[in-house]
């Protein structure tokens, strides 16, 4: 007998915890190698990994909180903890990008020793580990439609990208020889820009969701199609939806035969709800307002 699959939220929490452990090991690994190997790009990469630890902890906490059931104080549940966690991760990345950029510019202007060749091997290990972890977290994020888990995946991908930038910069400094030591710090500056771009990509949809922005039109079209296939529905209007965590709340007006009794209208609204939730499993609740069809 096969084991039951873990719920996506639980899998996301488990991967966030794994991310904390991996980032802690890599931060120490890169930090020590960067200091001993005279590579500011590698030190900047270690700082980014420390930020990843904070990000994974925020995602883990957000997922645990969003999984709580609705209560008297939060009748719509705790799903908003998801985009809040994603926004927090985005802000952490912004702070890391700014700090690395400032220090990189200072390093470019100041003469320093060339990095050691073995720092390249350290970066290869980091790139492989973080890209594997990023892909795994992306799969879970797509299955769960979780903004927080998606942000955590981008955090891992950003670490792999910054490590790749550091690899290029260190290689240029080693190949160029004396006078090209600045390439190492220039790679760190490039990495800070890439981190900033990733931060914006995480923050934009998180803020959109926090402000109850509309979901994509394809999802609304699915809801509309499901509602209009119900026998007795003459027309629908004022279709709206908002995302709360990994689920959607839908509101719509349904027009039906004006001679329909209150009991029949009630039954029809229930059929519409069932049709929508069956067609779009990510819809958690549907609020139907019944109106007479006037042609």
Determine the average pLDDT of the residues in 198-222: 86
Measured distance between the N- and C-terminal CA atoms of the chain, rounded to whole angstroms: 57
DSSP string, 93-124: HHHHHHHHHHHHHHHHHS--PPPPTTHHHHHH
User: pLDDT band at 231, cuts 50/70/90?
Assistant: very high
Question: Which position has the token pair 């915890």?
Answer: 17
Mean pLDDT of the chain: 83
Q: How high is the pLDDT of residue 122? A: 85
Give the largest CA-CA distance in the chain.
89
Give the Cα separation of 85 and 213 in Å (integer): 17
Q: How high is the pLDDT of residue 2? A: 42
Q: How high is the pLDDT of residue 5? A: 46
Q: How high is the pLDDT of residue 257? A: 92
pLDDT digit string, tens, across residues 24-70: 888 888 888 888 887 777 777 787 777 777 777 777 777 777 778 77
User: pLDDT band at 4, cuts 50/70/90?
Assistant: very low
Q: How high is the pLDDT of residue 133? A: 87
Domains of the chain: 8-210 (1.20.1510.10), 217-292 (3.30.70.1350)
3-state secondary structure of 247: strand
Determine the average pLDDT of the residues in 136-163: 79
Q: How high is the pLDDT of residue 251? A: 95
Q: How high is the pLDDT of residue 3? A: 45
């Amino acid at each position: 007998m096969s084991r039951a699959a873990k719920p996506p939220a639980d899998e996301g929490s488990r991967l966030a915890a794994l991310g904390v452990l991996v980032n802690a090991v890599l931060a120490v690994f890169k930090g020590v190698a960067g200091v001993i190997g005279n590579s500011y790009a590698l030190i900047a990469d270690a700082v980014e990994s420390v930020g990843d630890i904070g990000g994974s902890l925020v995602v883990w906490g957000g997922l645990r909180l969003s999984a709580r059931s609705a209560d008297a104080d939060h009748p719509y549940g705790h799903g908003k903890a998801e985009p809040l966690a994603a926004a927090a991760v985005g802000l952490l990345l912004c702070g890391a990008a700014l700090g690395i950029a400032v220090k990189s510019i200072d390093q470019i202007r100041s003469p320093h020793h060339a990095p050691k060749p073995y720092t390249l091997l350290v970066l290869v290990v980091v790139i492989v580990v973080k890209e594997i972890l990023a892909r795994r977290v992306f799969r879970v994020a797509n299955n769960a439609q979780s903004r927080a888990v998606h942000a955590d995946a981008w955090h891992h991908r950003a670490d792999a990208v910054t490590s790749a930038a550091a690899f290029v910069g260190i290689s240029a400094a080693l190949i160029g020889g004396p006078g090209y030591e600045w390439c190492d710090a220039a790679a760190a500056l490039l990495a800070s820009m890439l981190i900033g771009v990733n931060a914006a990509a995480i923050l934009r949809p998180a803020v959109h969701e926090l402000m109850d922005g509309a979901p994509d039109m394809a999802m609304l079209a699915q809801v509309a199609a499901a509602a209009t296939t119900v026998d007795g529905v003459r027309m629908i209007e004022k279709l709206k939806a908002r995302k709360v965590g990994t689920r959607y709340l839908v509101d719509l007006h349904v027009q039906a035969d004006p001679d329909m009794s209150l009991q029949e209208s009630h039954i029809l609204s229930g059929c519409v709800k069932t049709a929508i939730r069956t067609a779009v499993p990510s819809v958690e609740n549907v609020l139907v307002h019944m109106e007479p069809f006037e042609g």
